[in-house]
Structure 1
């Protein structure tokens, strides 16, 4: 059962077609007392996405509200960073409330979990696409032998799995795809996933940062120590387990904090976990719109995230204007980070750094 401190659903917005899908009926049956509000589209709910006043209820909405819809687009997008391809999302939004999350930039003032109930269509699309790829020609930075599909671009699948079996179904799907592997990042430790039997075909990436900073910006997530402690357990359960050092936030004393985190990882992981450990490094990206939203509910985080003295505006791949650490300086800071990592965790291969 879901942790009621994280999820206590009492209102469900749903598209009209949701009850016609088995997964939709399962989810609705799980929350029989929840108010149901029918909406034309999961993406456009004015009382959520366009309601500036909801900033004050940011956390309450994430805990108590669920959106159910039908996934329309089923195309695979080339990625080239965390994976070969981005699979169609099975969710959008999250019950957690990380202050740097990019999803609210597009959705507006609230982004509780939106789940898609046509899981069979998503699974079929992935199966067709993987079949067309054939075998991976040669090892690359994404994997030694398989095409990697990122499943959790717009949400956190560890939390989604507390609501329904979409994640279980996809782990089972990739167990039977000989040339493909699933991947998703998470900030939550859901030990029910230990029973999914991934057989090495699903990669879980625990996102990590210094604990004292996570307490400020990683709102409603699992503690960093708990995430580190889970690595060996998930490896033993058949997952490939990597880490994301993300986001790397710059402030006075950041190197000492990261050195402390690396020491904790080195102390806690088994030799088996260390031998297979790889990472991604992602420097903070921020956004003026998100800054304005955060000022309405969590201004303390903005003292860390909003640093125009060392940030500059850059056009993102999605066409938005985001703040990133200044060109030239960002490269120097990333080089320093990688040097510290190589010194403290020499066995941790860097798969991707940005």
Structure 2
């Protein structure tokens, strides 16, 4: 069953900072939901009834559907990356209306994770334009792109869903469309066909996240079905987007090799020659977290049967100091090599940008 705008978002309450309501973008967003209650808040990070209440675990999906937060992005920092992109741009949103059981964003937000939209898009856009100008022309290729500086604009949200809420994503894509030295990039699990009308002129890279459909039915709740994501690739390429794929997260189920082999066969059969010619991928194996595991047990314990397998996992200290779990070193290194071999066999035209 395809997820739609109406099933994802039925906003009845908007938690809003005063500063966000004063900005044109904040006013535009409120106007989209005229029947919603406006709840003033001092900070988009400090909403006890949304973020701090353990009872909200049982209402996880309802809150994602009905609550929206409006804030102002205080710290505008563009960070070096080197994996998905050369740089991570300041977020224009945080959180997601979808409900993937392995998502890392709820680890920071607590017991609920509705979308927060930042209304100061003009300030964010000016920051990005200055940063791009400062880089100048890219003189040496990187694995991110041989010619353009790539900026991930959706680190903490899904931009295809964000585009249902405001014009923030379109504003950023328009900025990059007019910028010959840089590209925007974002990963997505939602097929938003409104984006096909945007004329990105090759300056926006969409990365459709793919995994075996049987696993996605358990872990990727409220997302576009895998067949719909695959079917959209050709259309987005024809519309002027660069389209890559994310094979992520790779979850080591008992039949993971057979499941991924089937997915690769489906992808190969669906792609046009033009889509194949520009295809590249990222491979990311599952990283989990004990706090998120505990939260998931309160609303979706079935997913944890796939995600939480202590016999196969070991602790990992993340770059920001958090303690996560990943597959044990030897097991993971063998699995990475096996999956790369499957890609080479079934999708020989698909360049693996990185795998970990």
TM-score, length-scaled by structure 1: 0.99
> Aligned partners of 1:116 and 1:234: how far apart in 2?
27
In the alignment, which residue of structure 2 is the partner of 1:28?
30
In the alignment, which residue of structure 2 is the partner of 1:39?
41
In the alignment, which residue of structure 2 is the partner of 1:119?
121
- 1:43 to partner: Cα distance: 1.1
In the alignment, which residue of structure 1 is the partner of 2:221?
219
Secondary structure, counterpart of 1:102 in structure 2: coil
Cα deviation code 1:75-102 (max 9, x no counterpart): 1001111000000000000000000000
In the alignment, which residue of structure 2 is the partner of 1:153?
155
Q: Which has the larger displacement, 16-25 or 85-94?
A: 16-25
In the alignment, which residue of structure 1 is the partner of 2:336?
334
- 1:50 to partner: Cα distance: 0.8
> Aligned partners of 2:20 and 2:338: how far apart in 1?
50
Match 1:261 to one of 243, 260, 263 = 263
In the alignment, which residue of structure 2 is the partner of 1:171?
173
> Aligned partners of 2:226 and 2:352: how far apart in 1?
20
In the alignment, which residue of structure 1 is the partner of 2:290?
288
Match 2:279 to one of 258, 277, 280 = 277
> Aligned partners of 1:133 and 1:317: how far apart in 2?
25
Match 2:253 to one of 251, 254, 257 = 251
Cα deviation code 1:181-228 (max 9, x no counterpart): 000000000000011110000000000000010000001000000000
Match 1:89 to one of 88, 91, 98 = 91
What residue ranges of structure 2 are gaps of 5+ in the alignment? none
Cα deviation code 1:50-91 (max 9, x no counterpart): 110000000000000000000111110011110000000000
Secondary structure, counterpart of 2:5 in structure 1: coil
Question: Deviating runs (4+, > 4 A) in structure 1?
Answer: none
Q: Which has the larger displacement, 325-334 or 274-283?
A: 325-334
- 1:303 to partner: Cα distance: 0.2
- Residue 9 in 1 paired to residue 11 in 2? yes
Root-mean-square deviation over aligned CA pairs: 0.7
- 1:18 to partner: Cα distance: 1.4
Give the length in aligned residue pairs.
353
> Aligned partners of 2:198 and 2:168: how far apart in 1?
12
- 1:278 to partner: Cα distance: 0.2
Match 1:73 to one of 72, 75, 83 = 75
In the alignment, which residue of structure 2 is the partner of 1:55?
57
Secondary structure, counterpart of 1:114 in structure 2: strand
Secondary structure, counterpart of 1:296 in structure 2: helix
Secondary structure, counterpart of 1:41 in structure 2: coil
